[in-house]
Structure 1
Amino acid sequence: MSVVVRLFAGAAEAAGVDETVIEAASAAELREALVRAHGGDLAAVLPRCSLLSDGEYLEPGDAISSGATVDVLPPFAGG
């Protein structure tokens, strides 16, 4: 299942891209596929990131529909 993934802030910097297409059927598979595709720097950032599809937080076992867009959001600091 093809999923469009948009990466933001530190996740985009670590991956070297701000958007990619990944084959995955669940949030856990998506995380694994992102690390395989974009390497160790992303592996260090990804555990702290939230995954959202259509504005809904994805748990590791949650299914992802083919053609979905998933946002990878690292924690943000504000003030």
Structure 2
Amino acid sequence: MMRVRFFAAAAEAAGTDVADRSEPTLDALRAALVHDHPDLGAVLPRCAVLVDGVRADADVPLTGTSVIDVLPPFAGG
């Protein structure tokens, strides 16, 4: 089981800051999150996803993963 942490607009779209998930790959996780939280469909494609602190863009396996961070783009300076 891994912990998914949502930040800013991703948390708002998901309706929560955290979720415990067990999908086997990043692509499966993305699909399941959008299925469970449809508003994430508009936000998730723009988000950076960190798998145990390392940015992941491909369909990486999540076996042994502890934390997934979903970070929307930040503005400001």
TM-score of the two chains, using structure 2 as the length reference: 0.89
Q: What 5-or-longer segments of structure 2 have no aligned partner? A: none
Q: Which amino acid aligns with 2:27?
A: A
Cα distance change of structure 1 residues 49 and 26 upon mapping to structure 2, 3 Å threshold: same
1:67 positional shift: 5.1
Aligned match of 2:35: 36
Q: CA-atom RMSD, angstroms?
A: 1.3
Q: What 5-or-longer segments of structure 1 have no aligned partner? A: none
Q: Which amino acid aligns with 1:58?
A: A
1:27 positional shift: 1.1
Q: Write out aligned runs for 1:1-79 (5 A).
A: 2-39=1-38, 41-66=39-64, 68-79=66-77
TM-score of the two chains, using structure 1 as the length reference: 0.87
Q: Distance in 2 between matches of 1:3 and 1:32?
A: 16
Q: Which runs of 4+ in 1 moved over 6 A?
A: none
